[in-house]
Amino acid sequence: MTNAQVNPLLEDFKTPHQTAPFSEIKNEHFLPAMKEAIKQGEAEIQAIVDNKATPDFLNTIEALEKSGRLLSRTLGIFFNLLNSETNDELQGIAQEGSPLLTKYQNDIFLNPMLFNKVKYVYNQKNKLDLNPEQQTLLKNTYLGFVRQGANLSDAEKEKFRQISTELSMLTLKFDENVLKETNSYEMHITDKNKLAGLPESALEAAAAKAKSKNKPGWVFDITMPSYLPFMKYADNWELRKELYLAYMSKSFKGNEFDNQENVRKIANLRLEMAKLLGYKNYADYALEQRMARNPGGVYQLLDELLDVSYSVAQKEKEEVSAFAAKSGFNEEIMPWDWTYYSEKLKEARFDLNDEMLKPYFELNKVVEGVFGLATELYGITFNPNKNIPVYHEEVVPFEVSDSDGSFLAVLYTDFHPRPGKQGGAWMNDFKGQWKENDEDSRPQITIVMNFTRPTETKPALLTFNEVETFLHEFGHALHGILANSTYSSLSGTNVYRDFVELPSQIMENWAVEKDFLDRFASHYQSGEKIPAELVDKIKASENFLAGYLSVRQVSFGYLDMAWHTLENPFDGDVKQFEESAWKRTQIFPVIDEACMSTQFGHLFAGGYAAGYYSYKWAEVLDADAFSLFRDKGIFNKEVASSFRKNILEKGGTEHPMVLYKRFRGQEPSVDALLQRSGLK
């Protein structure tokens, strides 16, 4: 092979910690690398099948676990770039590669000889001397085969292949449509009078956006750092309405980016798959391996939260409406008015708004503060290493070290919106953690945000909500960084979906603690620490609109469950279905042009199908868990050590309730959440 033909994805990475050599990787390398990695993975699987020795834990279960590492490494790089730095070429590769990857997975799980070996070992489980992690791996491996169709007839297996292949293509297309729809919209304003009410920071950011597009005036779009300040502060209700409808009608316009048919197809294919596997609906299938166990458990939580939240939300709406009327607004409050007038009420009631807080949350200082919290709790440190390659100039790579100086992980941070980046915020890994032959192969973690950019005159100043978002995603990152498992499939965030949000959501609790904020929150110009009265106002306003925000999250849970408890194929109107699904939770009139389902990536392109309730369930867990920190001290080393040892390090090696009780000493109660949020 000549140098011109060398594919860096198939070579050993000669980089610090064998991180991805991004500068060497070109788009055209991905598909050949996927095909070669699949070929190697298939050979590893065939070796297990051909092994003449009696199947046992080592030669079957562990061998399966270790197979396909080259493919995992390749896909870790590819799919992270697809979300963080995508383009038409990468999206084309995803469409071409997706059926190959689905076939590879199906060829493993639908291989009868391989399944017979797995089943043989599983049936011996009570005779084997396995530790808890090995027991979990054995159980997960066996159930993985069963849940991926291993017990189906040949004809049913063929059907399963068709369904899974089509689903993989549709979920990619769903995400692609939402991103393209987001990037296709802008609101260009040249008359500054139309922008009354907007703070200077929002105007400066919009002017910079216009300048980058060689346009005069100001450009706003539907990425969160542009959208949210406009909805909070712009006095012009017609422009607020225009921007709101642009945001809420993503992939619901009947154009080339429309997702209505994709929603129907995805829901129906999931139902068909579940029925093929013997379940009456997809939620029954998905929840079998969740803490909620079944739809009844989910509805019990959602109903309980709705019962205590809805009347509070209605009262909050009345208060905002009365405040708007006093301000001279005598129309019915609509969704595009809600953020504007509720923000005005918050300011009047608590003398607090984002613009007062942002000067104290300069991004680099926030990074220091959040990293410093991990140092305080867990003894770990973060050092930037410019020798680690990155996929975009704004990405900063860090080496993470433990308290004894040993290497723990690589962490990439990627903070600002770009046209090639999906909206929202997330944590992922380029490579997970595992142990083999006395080697602890450490993880490579990434956290990706869409935070406010710096401008020509100001550094990146974050809203308080962005600070909370950072803490949230950093909690996920800690789950990955501190992973201490033998097997990669049980490591880090590879846990039940309704447990994975505990490590992230618990971190948000520190955001309102003065002792924490004092460590980093200082005015970017004067250096003055955030005043105690401002922190008091943050705490006082913490439960502002708690009822509304709770009902909103619960509504998403009901919508999710409605799509995934369907027991007959759906060919109706997506919008009507949505309105029916969450009718009990709505406090505003129906907006015909708005649709959540067509842009709800968590459900139709992510891993939260029949699992969106997880955010509320994790709030129950995190409120209960943080109450222990509150009792013992928010920087208490003993509590932190227990949380690290029993939750963060353990990943999915044991059942989450076992791990939680080991940390907390008891099962969680919803009371801590209701008390924290002022709903009880």
What's the pLDDT tens digit per position in 325-370?
A: 999 998 999 999 999 999 999 999 999 999 999 999 999 999 999 9
Average pLDDT in the 262-280 region?
A: 98
The CA–CA distances, whole Å, from 18 to 41, 391, 397, 482 equal 20, 15, 13, 19
**pLDDT score of 606:** 87
| Three-state DSSP state, 289 | coil
**Band of pLDDT at residue 4, cut at 50, 70 and 90:** low
Is the per-residue pLDDT at 377 higher than 80? yes
**pLDDT score of 675:** 85
Q: Tokens 């401002």 correspond to what residue?
A: 534
* Number of helices and strands in the chain (H, E): 27, 9
Is the per-residue pLDDT at 3 higher than 90? no
Element (H, E) at 245: helix 237-248
Q: What is the identity of the amino acid at 138?
A: L
- Let me know if the fold of 3-109+111-151 is the same as that of 260-352+546-612: yes
Is the per-residue pLDDT at 133 higher than 50? yes
Average pLDDT in the 209-221 region?
A: 97
**Band of pLDDT at residue 545, cut at 50, 70 and 90:** very high
Q: Which CATH number fits domain 358-540+615-676: 3.40.50.300, 3.50.80.10, 3.40.1280.10, 1.10.1370.40?
A: 1.10.1370.40
**pLDDT score of 2:** 45
Is the per-residue pLDDT at 676 higher than 90? no
Active-site residue, selected from the candidate residues 473, 501, 619, 649? 473
Average pLDDT in the 52-81 region?
A: 98
| Three-state DSSP state, 260 | helix
Average pLDDT in the 465-491 region?
A: 98
Is the per-residue pLDDT at 135 higher than 50? yes
**pLDDT score of 16:** 98
Give long-range contacts, CB 8 A cutoff, 24+ apart: 237-245. Answer: 237/336, 237/337, 237/340, 239/187, 239/189, 239/194, 240/336, 240/337, 240/340, 241/334, 241/336, 242/187, 243/187, 243/336, 244/335, 244/336, 244/594, 245/336, 245/591, 245/593, 245/594
Q: Give CA–CA dist 437/434, Å, rounded.
A: 10
Assign domain 3-109+111-151 to a CATH class.
mainly alpha
Question: Is 473 designated active site?
Answer: yes
What's the pLDDT tens digit per position in 33-47?
A: 999 999 999 999 999
**% of the chain at pLDDT higher than 70:** 99
CATH number for the domain running over 260-352+546-612:
1.10.1370.10
- The residue extents of the domains of the chain are 3-109+111-151, 185-248, 260-352+546-612, 358-540+615-676
Q: Give CA–CA dist 7/11, Å, rounded.
A: 7
What global pTM score does this model have?
Answer: 0.94
Is the per-residue pLDDT at 410 higher than 90? yes
Q: Give CA–CA dist 594/575, Å, rounded.
A: 8
What's the pLDDT tens digit per position in 426-435?
A: 999 999 999 9
What's the pLDDT tens digit per position in 584-617?
A: 999 999 999 999 999 999 999 988 999 999 999 9
Average pLDDT in the 668-678 region?
A: 85
**Band of pLDDT at residue 405, cut at 50, 70 and 90:** very high
**pLDDT score of 679:** 83
**% of the chain at pLDDT higher than 90:** 95
Is the per-residue pLDDT at 71 higher than 50? yes
Average pLDDT, the chain: 96
